[in-house]
Amino acid sequence: EDNTTTVEKRRQDLDIPVGEHAPIIPNASGSGPRSVVWHEYLVIPASEFEDGMKRATCKHCQGKTFIADSRYGTSNMKKHLEKCATYQAAKAARAGSEEVARFDPKVYRELLAKAIIRRGFMWCLCNSCNS
């Protein structure tokens, strides 16, 4: 059984907590501990970047990319998962949670602004044209 299958089974068995108390699991090479946040990121090879550093991007939103080097740590990755709406929704679904998602107006205002910019929507679609 390959390591990927083992890691995926382990990931499904765990409810992956984020924050400063996230557990660590052994590194595949046995050289040291490995944070569980790596299961939530896709590693992009260094050959794809001019600076020669490999990166990791969030599997859930594909919107945040971090340098994937041991010298940089995983704290920022953990913080991203705490705020990643897609990850939090998937986590709640896995847990069978019927908890209602919190509405954060700042988050939705930012998402709306990005949609307007990216899609070229006219402001009157979001704000009454008659006012």
Domain-wise residue ranges, the chain: 3-100, 101-131
Sign of the CA dihedral with 33 first, then 21, 13, and 43 last: negative
In order, the DSSP letters of 4-58 are: HHHHHHHHHHS----STT--EEE-TTSSSEEEGGGGGEEEE-GGGSTT---EEEE
Query: Looking at the whole model, is its pTM more than 0.95?
Result: no
- The predicted-structure confidence for 60-119, as pLDDT tens digits, reads as follows 888 888 998 878 888 999 999 999 988 888 888 877 655 556 677 888 888 888 888 877
Phi/psi for 69 (5° steps) reads -125, 140
